[in-house]
Structures are given as structure tokens and as C-alpha cells.
Amino acid sequence: MRAAFLKFHLAPARCLIAICTVAGFALFLAMCLVSPSHAQTELRPLRLDANLSLVERNLHGNSQAYYDPTGQLTREQVASPPYQQQFETLAGALNGGYVKGAWWVRFQIEASPEEIAQPLEGGWWLRLNAPYVDYIDVWWPEVNGGTSGAFAHRELGGMRAGSLRELPWSIPAVRLPDFPDTQPRWVWVRLAGDRSLSLVGGVSPLRELADVQQQRNFADAAVTGIALLMAVVSFMMGIALPDRRFVAYAGYLLTLGLLFASSENMPASLWLQDSPVAAVRLHNFSVCLHTAAAFGFARTMLDMERQFPRMNRVFQVLTLVSLAACLVAVAGGYGRIALPLNMTWLLFAASIVPMCAVLLRRNIHAWPQLVGYAVYLLMGVVHFAKNLQLLPYTLITQYSYAIGGIVHIMAFFFALGWRVRHRERRALALSHRHRARLARRVNERTHDLRQEIAEHHRTHDQLAQALREQRGLLAMVSHEFRTPLGTIGGAAQILTDDRLGLVREEVKKEGEKISRTVLRMRDLVDTLLADEWLDASSENLCLVPIELGGFLREKIEEHNEGGGGGRISLVLDAPELPVLADETLLHIAMDNLVTNALKYAPTYSPVLVRAGIRRNALEHVPGAEAVPGVCIQVCDQGPGFMPQDLSHVFERFYRAAGTRRIPGIGLGLHMVHRIAMVHGGSVAASNGAREGAVLTLILPLLGSAEGLLSRDESDMALLDPGGFR
């Protein structure tokens, strides 16, 4: 939500920045185009005076021009009166555009008295900056020709070998003679060729000419070097990322560097001095190739295949047409396609900026592309409008493509870098989402694994418990059943041995032994069956209100008449002890508690059963509330429990090491524990203060009887078995 809010509010700001940038460049261009002209009301000669500035010795506003549509006129013809009257004074530099004929330019040169008195070392040079002119012819009157009217002639231009020039530099220049007087002399210049015809220049001393050439070489090398360096960097980034936009941008920069270098005659002045045709056709080829690269790069940069599918097909066709124009330029037919190629650039300018604006509305991150294309295309339109004679020839219009090239390659590089940053942000956000999703899955899987481990531990504990119970059962069976069976077997053998001659009393004695043994085995089997029956009945309890005082009196009386021998006593600490319990299970529990006390206590030792009500009796029962409960204690004077046995006495089939000689299978106290649990109570084992065992059974008090609890009864403590002896 916050990201959408920021995007909504930042979009107008970025659009405003882009619009202000383009408007700033347009304003700068307009100021340059409407800058004051150096044109004069009257044609004045170029004065050979070192004290004048470079601007004061320029052709700007000091020349006249005439257009020869046939291109066949000679110097003598255009110097005749009918043609001289057709020359027009130029307000600025000559901008002839693409024409089939020739342009004639004439101006006057005069020497200053100081120059006549003391000529400069290196002399004066006529500087003719005509970057795209194929043929330049220069005439001036011979100084020593007297009145014969002879003229000196020099041949320059892109289609003339540079090695034949007086200075094989990229700026065409010819040395002027040392004039003997201050009389003005006419200089005639003819311009012809298939490319744009333009001319600026002036007169300069040799040192000044060298400075101008050096500055121009430095600027040309800087722009070309920046383009090539950024092309290499873009190509390496395109391979490393990978991103086809960087690769397309590298190709675009290579063609831009080639175009600028060939436009400034760098190949012709460096390694193609003797091959002017190759140098000119290289420039024509670079113009067509850069046009094709511009269309191809625009398709990739703006993602036209997805964003503008119809314009993508148009740009594909224009790319193929520009590549075909490269072949025409190499074959020497650039003059036929120069004007359509420039018009194609204008159409490109008219379509690409609106598409950038549409793309900006779809994606706010496209604003650097709008700035780059708007700036460069604005400068490109100016440059080609100059070639089409729609704008005057000035330094700004001449080098507008270089200025726009530097600005736009920076803007495009920033746009590509912005794209990489945006892609990294998206990748980082995706990584964060994947990491969060992975963390959730890891947490879920960890939780599942922990549950599986806990379940495994529970299963392991259950298996361990089952194994312990199995071992206990086997030990019990091997001990408890082997002894009765041995007794039965021995008695049966005695009864069947005729050699013994047993009398009736001895037979009766052995029969009674068999009966007692059978009864013991029946009790063992009943106990095992009772444990299994308890498993089934614990799920279907039949709870009824029971007054525990009367129940305990009947139970103790039953045991005293049986094996108790009248040594079991009962103490009740409350007049009423109501509980809600299953009567059958309660009988089993009390039988096991009393039988356990009689079994392990010495013969004829007393056994005490005490019952009462305790406050917070169930506070240690897991999940039970701190409510009153009925507490039943069975105390004997036996050996008690060993410390290591206290935590195991209620386990199934567990028997202490010192009690193995006493009959039993280790199920009695286990059944008591289970009966207490299903009733919501508890059972505990402890030792008396002196000797003997204390078993405490606690059952929940019936809710309606809580008012029977008195202050004295609330403080009932565990009975000290030694206190009643």
C-alpha cells in the first residue's frame, strides 16, 4: 500500500523533471539560434591583422554567394558582370543544403600596413571549414601577376587526397601569398558534392590555425572516446547481467562513435589521406548504419514488441531500409538517398518522443528514456533541419548532434542503470518473499518434525512400557504359575505312587494342598481378567452417589471376617463422606489397597484405614481445579517402600526386588491408580515417619456436600502410622 502511494505521488514529480529538462534544452537552443549575428550592413574585406580577434577575421557576414544550378560555370563566367550582379550578401555562414549544382562564394582580403611592413612567420592561411563538401576550389589573384589578371588555384574537399594539400589536416586550409600592398583582392570559392554544402571560415596565422585544429582534434577524440568506452562497458554489462538492452546500446554507441569520427574527417586525416573516396563513402555508410542502429536500439529500449507491436513492425521495416541504404552509400549513391534519409530521421523524431511519453504513463521508471530521446532528437532535428536549409548554419546547429550525442548517451546509460537497479529491487523483494515463504515452510516442517519426534517418543515410551510389562508378566508367570504347578504336580505324583501306601489322612492333606494351589492360580487368573475387564469398563462408568463412611465399614468388616483376622480398624474424620463413583470399581480399589496392606505387613500387625475431607486435595492432579476431596489412607506396619521404588509402584506388573518371594503379579496398585484416574482423583504412595507404607486414595467430593467441610477438617494431614501403635 505504501509503495503504491509513493509511486502515485512520485510519478508527477518525475514527469515534471523530464519536461523541465527538455524545456531547458529547447530554451538553450532557442537562445543560441537567436543570438546576435555578426552580419554587416556593408561587405568589408577580411583584414590580415594579427591584432584583430578570430571572430573579426571570419567570413560571417563578410561574403557573398551565388547558386549555380548547372554546376558547369567557370570562375571567369561567374566573375563576369551578368553573374556578379546575382551574388547576394550572406547574413551568416553559407548553408547550401543538398543540391545538385554548385555554390560560389566570394569575399575580399586585404593586408594591413603592419603585415606589409613585417610579414608574420608562417604566413597567413585561409581557413575553410566545410566538413561535408566533396569538392572545394579556391582562386585568388596572383600577387606577382602584374596586370595580366592571372589567378592562383587550389583544390580541396573530401574527394581530394589529403596528402596533396599544403596542410593534411581535417580543416581545409590554403596559404595566402604575401600581399605587397593594402589593396583588397577578391577570393573565389566553389563548393560542390553529394553531401550537405556549408562553409564557415576566415583567415588565421599558422599558430592560430594550429590551435584551432588542436582544439577540434581534442573535442573529436573526447566525444569519440566517450562513445567507444561506454560501448565497451555496456557490452560487458550486457554479457555479465545478461541484458540484451545493454548489448543493443553497445552497438548503437559504436555506430555513433564511427559517425562522429567520420563526420569530423578523422579517418581522412589519419589513415585515408590518399583514399578520399573511401573516406567519403565511410562517412555516408556510417550515417546509414547509425540510422539503422538507432531504429534497432529504439525497438529494444522501448520494448516495442510488447509495448507498441504495430510501431515495432514499422521500425523493423525502417531498420531494413536503413541497412539497404548502407549498401547504396558504399556503392556511391548517397546523393540520391541523403534527403529521404534525413526525412526519415525527422519522422523518427516525431514518433519516438510520443511513444516515450506513453511508456512513461505505463511505467514511471521510463522517465530517463524520455529525457534521453527528447534531448538527442531535439538536437538531431536541429542538425538535420540545418542540412535541409530550414535553420541557419551556426556552430550550435553544426555541432548539435555532438552535443545531443553526449547528453543522450549519458541519459540512456542512466536509464539502463536505473533499469538494473529496479530489476535488482524486484529480485531482492522476490528473494525476501521467497525467504519468508521458505521460513514459513521450514517452521511448518520443523513443527511437523517436532510432532513426529514427539509422537515417536510417545510410541517409544509406550513400547518401552509394553516391554517392561511383558517382562513383568513373563517374570510373574514364570514365578507365580510355576510354583503352584510344581505343587500340583508333586502332590499328584504322591497320590498316584502305590509304593508309598498313603493312609486316608495323608491323601486328604495332599488333596487340600492341591485345592489351595488351584485357588491361588484362580485368583491370579481372576486378577489378570479383572485388569482386562477394567480396560473395557473404564470407558463406560456407572457413577452413583456413595456415602463412603458406610461403604468403608462394610468393606473392612468383610475383610476382618476373612483373611484380615479382625486387625483392620477404621477412623472417620467427617460424619459424611459423599462421593460420585462407580461402586464396582470402588470395591476393586479398596480390595486391592487392603489386600496389599495385609500381604506385606507382618502377621497379626494392625492395619489402619482413615478417611476424611481435605481442602485443595486435588491441587496436584493435572487439569483438576483446587477443590475439596475425600482422602482415604491405608497404613500398615510392613517394610514400606524403597526410595527407588516409589516412582514405579503403580506401573503394570512392577514388583520391588525384595518382594518377589511374596505371592503377587504387580497389578493391584496399578488397578487402583487407573480407577483413581477415571474418577478424576489420584493415588499416592509414601512411607510413614517410622516404618510401614501409606497409600492415599483421593476422590472428588460430591458438589452438594462441600458445606460439610469444617475448619478443623480442612487441616487434615497425612496420618503418621506410628501414632496409633
Structural contact between residues 303 and 369, judged by C-beta atoms closer than 8 angstroms: no
Burial of 178 (C-beta count, 10 Å sphere; 0-12/13-18/19+)? middle
Residues of the chain scoring pLDDT < 50: 1-41, 146-147, 704-725
DSSP E strands in 12-113: the ranges are: 46-48, 64-68, 88-89, 94-97, 102-111
Tell me which residue has cell 542512466: 414
DSSP letters of 108-130?
Answer: EEEE-HHHHHSPPTT-EEEEEE-
pLDDT confidence of residue 725:
31
Residues 122 and 167: their CA atoms lie apart, in Å, by: 12
3-state SS, residue 533: helix
DSSP E strands in 515-577: the ranges are: 543-547, 568-572
3-state SS, residue 66: strand
Burial of 29 (C-beta count, 10 Å sphere; 0-12/13-18/19+)? buried
pLDDT confidence of residue 10:
41
Q: At 383, list the grid cell.
A: 542538425
pLDDT confidence of residue 673:
87
Residues with Cβ within 8 Å of 652's Cβ and at least 6 positions away in sequence, in order, are 465, 468, 469, 472, 531, 666, 667, 670
Residues 287 and 329: their CA atoms lie apart, in Å, by: 9
Residues 551 and 562: their CA atoms lie apart, in Å, by: 17
Tell me, which fold does domain 46-214 have in CATH? Immunoglobulin-like (2.60.40)
* Helix, strand, coil percent values for the chain (each to nearest 5): 60, 15, 25
pLDDT confidence of residue 528:
61
Report the candidate in 254, 355, 383 with the shortest Cα–Cα distance to residue 299: 355
pLDDT confidence of residue 186:
92
Give the CA dihedral 443, 447, 452, 453, nearest 10 degrees.
Answer: 90
Phi then psi dihedrals of residue 108, to 5 deg: -110, 150
CATH dotted code for 539-724: 3.30.565.10
Report the candidate in 418, 424, 299 with the shortest Cα–Cα distance to residue 364: 418
Residues 668 and 530: their CA atoms lie apart, in Å, by: 10
